[in-house]
Structure 1
Amino acid sequence: MESPHIVFVYGTLRQGESNHHYLRESEYLGRFETTSDYALYDLGEYPGLIKGHQTVVGEVYRITAEVLNQLDILEDIPNEYRREKIDTPYGSAWIYLYQQSIQHDEEIVSGDWCQRV
């Protein structure tokens, strides 16, 4: 049996958001707020997360290798995003970091994509 992966999602993959269907068969582990090592930006249709000095709010899921592969395609690995590991109360989780320029985009100061309006 394949070993499951854990992923931290902070944008369109969260509950109630446009890409959450990718995680419909995955196990929701809980809500999580990162350490203050990141910054979240509104890129229009989706957010970009980079290294910074804010906390970011999201959800943690246990996913299969197949789902991880689908997420890598969605996130355009390794071009637009890259994956790194972060520590969560649920174990070490993948997080997607944005790799493009964000100079003209707005920071989501709350760190919560779902509260960006």
Structure 2
Amino acid sequence: MPPLSQLVFVYGSLKRGYALHGLLQGQLCLGQAVTEPLYRMFDLGSYPGLVEWPEGLAIRGEVYQVDSECLRRLDEAEGVAERHYARRRILLQAEFESNEVHAWFWLNAVRGLRDCGSEWP
């Protein structure tokens, strides 16, 4: 039986050309995507943190179809067990709006951090 797959939205260090993109090796990139304007990204140093925000922006990123082993690696890299990030459903526009897609949301305070706008970096 093939591993279960899930769609994930990446917006920072997991995107093509960035430090952690290698974790997505062998997974299927479905293309560019934009969120509904319900989120903000904040600069955490060498990577961003995504949070839900009342006056949000449409965040730009990429959507991948990943298998369960890749999802486990991504959760580990994002510090899900340490409660740095949580994987949750994210709302996307256009071709992905009817799909269940997940992203990693920052769980800690953002006060005093620089707002990254709609695209990292």
Please, what TM-score do these two structures have when normalized by structure 2?
0.88
Write the distance in 1 (CA, Å) between the matches of 2:87 and 2:119. 20
User: Which residue among 74, 78, 102 is the counterpart of 2:110?
Assistant: 102
Q: Does 1:82 align with 2:86?
A: yes
2-structure distance, mates of 1:105, 1:86: 22
Q: What is the match of residue 27 of structure 1?
A: 28
Tell me how many residue pairs correspond in the alignment.
113
Residues 104, 93 of structure 1: alpha-carbon distance in 2 compared, 3 angstrom cutoff? same
Per-residue deviation, 1:93: 1.0
Alignment pair present for 1:73 and 2:76: yes
Alignment of 1:4-23 (within 5 A): 4-23=5-24
> Unaligned 5+ residue runs, structure 2?
none
Q: For residue 66 of structure 1, give the secondary structure of its aligned residue in structure 2.
A: helix
Match in the other structure for 1:48: 49
Structure 1 Cα separation of the partners of residues 100 and 9 of structure 2: 9
Show the counterpart of 1:61.
Answer: 64
Distance in 1 (CA, whole Å) between partners of 2:115 and 2:30 is: 27
Runs of 4+ in 1 over 4 A off after TM superposition: none
The alignment's C-alpha RMSD in Å is 1.2
SS of the residue aligned with 2:14?
Answer: coil
What TM-score do the two structures reach when normalised by structure 1?
0.91
2:38–2:58 CA contact under 8 A, matched in 1: yes
Work out the CA distance in 1 between the residues paired with 2:112 and 2:49: 12
Q: Counterpart of 2:104 in structure 1: which amino acid?
A: Y
Partners of 2:36 and 2:91 within 8 A in 1: no
Distance 2:44 2:91 in 1: 26
State whether residues 41 and 116 of structure 2, in contact with CA within 8 Å, keep that contact through their aligned partners in structure 1: yes
TM-aligned CA deviation for residue 87 of structure 1: 4.1
